[in-house]
Amino acid sequence: MVKRTVRMNAASKPFDLERFVPFVLNSLSRRLNMRLEKAFRVKRLTIHDWRLLATLANTPFNRPADVANYIATDPSTLSRMIDRFARAGVITRNKPAGEARITELELTKLGRSLYEAAFEVIMQERDFFLASLTANEREQFTRLLVKVSENYEPFLGLPEQRTAKSVA
Protein backbone atom coordinates (compact mmCIF):
# COMPACT_ATOMS: atom_id res chain seq x y z
CA MET A 1 0.00 0.00 0.00
CA VAL A 2 1.12 3.54 -0.66
CA LYS A 3 1.69 5.67 2.43
CA ARG A 4 0.03 9.03 2.24
CA THR A 5 -0.12 11.97 4.57
CA VAL A 6 -2.28 10.96 7.51
CA ARG A 7 -5.19 13.29 8.17
CA MET A 8 -6.25 13.93 11.71
CA ASN A 9 -9.58 12.66 12.93
CA ALA A 10 -12.03 14.57 15.07
CA ALA A 11 -10.04 13.83 18.23
CA SER A 12 -6.83 15.13 16.54
CA LYS A 13 -5.15 11.73 16.61
CA PRO A 14 -3.67 10.15 13.49
CA PHE A 15 -5.78 7.31 12.11
CA ASP A 16 -4.14 4.93 9.67
CA LEU A 17 -6.88 3.43 7.49
CA GLU A 18 -4.35 1.16 5.81
CA ARG A 19 -3.92 -0.70 9.11
CA PHE A 20 -7.58 -0.57 10.22
CA VAL A 21 -8.80 -4.16 9.84
CA PRO A 22 -12.43 -3.47 8.73
CA PHE A 23 -11.20 -1.01 6.10
CA VAL A 24 -8.46 -3.31 4.80
CA LEU A 25 -10.72 -6.39 4.74
CA ASN A 26 -13.43 -4.53 2.88
CA SER A 27 -10.97 -3.11 0.35
CA LEU A 28 -9.34 -6.49 -0.23
CA SER A 29 -12.71 -8.22 -0.56
CA ARG A 30 -13.96 -5.70 -3.08
CA ARG A 31 -10.77 -5.94 -5.16
CA LEU A 32 -10.73 -9.73 -5.03
CA ASN A 33 -14.42 -9.85 -5.98
CA MET A 34 -13.83 -7.51 -8.94
CA ARG A 35 -11.04 -9.79 -10.20
CA LEU A 36 -13.20 -12.89 -9.67
CA GLU A 37 -16.20 -11.35 -11.41
CA LYS A 38 -14.01 -10.56 -14.40
CA ALA A 39 -12.53 -14.08 -14.47
CA PHE A 40 -15.94 -15.73 -13.96
CA ARG A 41 -17.57 -13.65 -16.70
CA VAL A 42 -15.61 -15.73 -19.22
CA LYS A 43 -17.30 -18.83 -17.78
CA ARG A 44 -20.67 -17.02 -17.68
CA LEU A 45 -20.78 -17.23 -13.88
CA THR A 46 -20.92 -14.82 -10.97
CA ILE A 47 -19.38 -15.01 -7.52
CA HIS A 48 -22.82 -15.88 -6.15
CA ASP A 49 -23.04 -18.75 -8.65
CA TRP A 50 -19.63 -19.99 -7.49
CA ARG A 51 -20.71 -19.89 -3.85
CA LEU A 52 -23.84 -21.94 -4.60
CA LEU A 53 -21.91 -24.49 -6.66
CA ALA A 54 -19.15 -24.73 -4.04
CA THR A 55 -21.66 -25.19 -1.23
CA LEU A 56 -23.48 -28.00 -3.04
CA ALA A 57 -20.18 -29.65 -3.98
CA ASN A 58 -18.49 -29.41 -0.60
CA THR A 59 -20.98 -29.28 2.27
CA PRO A 60 -23.91 -31.35 3.48
CA PHE A 61 -26.22 -28.36 2.85
CA ASN A 62 -28.65 -29.07 0.04
CA ARG A 63 -31.90 -27.42 1.15
CA PRO A 64 -32.39 -23.90 -0.21
CA ALA A 65 -32.93 -22.28 3.21
CA ASP A 66 -29.77 -23.90 4.60
CA VAL A 67 -27.75 -22.91 1.54
CA ALA A 68 -29.03 -19.31 1.69
CA ASN A 69 -28.07 -19.10 5.34
CA TYR A 70 -24.64 -20.68 4.76
CA ILE A 71 -23.68 -18.37 1.89
CA ALA A 72 -25.32 -15.37 3.56
CA THR A 73 -27.60 -14.49 0.67
CA ASP A 74 -31.22 -13.48 0.48
CA PRO A 75 -33.50 -16.50 -0.11
CA SER A 76 -35.25 -14.76 -3.03
CA THR A 77 -31.88 -14.13 -4.71
CA LEU A 78 -30.95 -17.76 -4.18
CA SER A 79 -34.31 -18.86 -5.56
CA ARG A 80 -33.64 -17.00 -8.81
CA MET A 81 -30.19 -18.62 -9.06
CA ILE A 82 -31.68 -22.05 -8.44
CA ASP A 83 -34.36 -21.48 -11.09
CA ARG A 84 -31.73 -20.38 -13.63
CA PHE A 85 -29.43 -23.33 -12.83
CA ALA A 86 -32.32 -25.83 -12.91
CA ARG A 87 -33.42 -24.56 -16.36
CA ALA A 88 -29.82 -24.85 -17.58
CA GLY A 89 -29.45 -28.41 -16.26
CA VAL A 90 -26.79 -27.44 -13.70
CA ILE A 91 -28.76 -28.60 -10.66
CA THR A 92 -31.81 -30.71 -9.97
CA ARG A 93 -34.51 -30.22 -7.37
CA ASN A 94 -35.47 -33.39 -5.55
CA LYS A 95 -38.35 -34.12 -3.19
CA PRO A 96 -37.52 -36.74 -0.55
CA ALA A 97 -40.13 -39.50 -0.32
CA GLY A 98 -43.07 -38.42 1.80
CA GLU A 99 -41.80 -34.84 2.12
CA ALA A 100 -43.99 -32.65 -0.11
CA ARG A 101 -42.71 -29.35 1.31
CA ILE A 102 -38.98 -30.14 1.31
CA THR A 103 -36.73 -29.57 -1.68
CA GLU A 104 -33.17 -30.79 -1.89
CA LEU A 105 -30.69 -29.54 -4.47
CA GLU A 106 -28.11 -31.64 -6.26
CA LEU A 107 -25.43 -30.83 -8.81
CA THR A 108 -25.82 -32.60 -12.15
CA LYS A 109 -22.87 -33.85 -14.15
CA LEU A 110 -22.91 -30.48 -15.95
CA GLY A 111 -23.07 -28.71 -12.57
CA ARG A 112 -20.09 -30.67 -11.29
CA SER A 113 -18.04 -29.77 -14.39
CA LEU A 114 -19.07 -26.12 -14.05
CA TYR A 115 -18.00 -26.18 -10.41
CA GLU A 116 -14.65 -27.73 -11.35
CA ALA A 117 -14.04 -25.06 -14.00
CA ALA A 118 -14.95 -22.34 -11.50
CA PHE A 119 -12.71 -23.98 -8.90
CA GLU A 120 -9.73 -23.56 -11.24
CA VAL A 121 -10.48 -19.83 -11.45
CA ILE A 122 -10.77 -19.55 -7.67
CA MET A 123 -7.49 -21.41 -7.13
CA GLN A 124 -5.64 -19.14 -9.57
CA GLU A 125 -7.01 -16.04 -7.87
CA ARG A 126 -6.26 -17.45 -4.42
CA ASP A 127 -2.67 -18.11 -5.45
CA PHE A 128 -2.32 -14.60 -6.87
CA PHE A 129 -3.93 -13.11 -3.76
CA LEU A 130 -1.55 -14.95 -1.42
CA ALA A 131 1.55 -14.81 -3.63
CA SER A 132 3.50 -12.57 -1.24
CA LEU A 133 3.15 -15.07 1.62
CA THR A 134 5.27 -18.11 2.35
CA ALA A 135 3.54 -21.48 2.73
CA ASN A 136 3.84 -21.09 6.50
CA GLU A 137 2.36 -17.58 6.39
CA ARG A 138 -0.49 -18.80 4.18
CA GLU A 139 -1.36 -21.47 6.73
CA GLN A 140 -1.15 -18.99 9.59
CA PHE A 141 -3.21 -16.39 7.70
CA THR A 142 -5.90 -18.96 6.93
CA ARG A 143 -5.95 -20.22 10.50
CA LEU A 144 -6.31 -16.67 11.86
CA LEU A 145 -9.02 -15.75 9.37
CA VAL A 146 -11.04 -18.84 10.28
CA LYS A 147 -10.55 -18.11 13.98
CA VAL A 148 -11.80 -14.54 13.60
CA SER A 149 -14.69 -15.71 11.43
CA GLU A 150 -15.73 -18.40 13.91
CA ASN A 151 -15.70 -15.87 16.72
CA TYR A 152 -17.48 -13.15 14.77
CA GLU A 153 -20.13 -15.37 13.21
CA PRO A 154 -19.82 -19.06 14.10
CA PHE A 155 -20.12 -21.59 11.32
CA LEU A 156 -23.55 -23.04 10.93
CA GLY A 157 -23.35 -26.39 12.60
CA LEU A 158 -20.98 -28.09 10.22
CA PRO A 159 -19.16 -31.05 11.73
CA GLU A 160 -15.48 -30.69 12.65
CA GLN A 161 -14.48 -31.61 9.10
CA ARG A 162 -16.34 -28.57 7.70
CA THR A 163 -16.22 -29.36 4.03
CA ALA A 164 -15.45 -32.26 1.77
CA LYS A 165 -12.35 -30.44 0.57
CA SER A 166 -10.65 -28.10 3.01
CA VAL A 167 -8.46 -25.93 0.85
CA ALA A 168 -6.31 -23.13 2.23
The per-residue pLDDT for 54 is: 96
Q: Which domains does the chain have, with CATH numbers?
A: 23-152 (1.10.10.10)
The per-residue pLDDT for 167 is: 46
**Cα Rg of the chain, angstroms:** 19
From first to last of its 168 residues, the chain has per-residue pLDDT tens of: 566 665 655 666 778 989 999 999 999 999 999 999 999 998 889 999 999 999 999 999 999 999 999 998 999 999 999 999 999 999 999 998 888 788 999 999 999 999 999 999 999 999 999 999 999 999 999 999 999 988 887 655 555 545 544 444
The per-residue pLDDT for 138 is: 97
The per-residue pLDDT for 7 is: 60
pTM above 0.75, yes or no: yes
The per-residue pLDDT for 68 is: 93
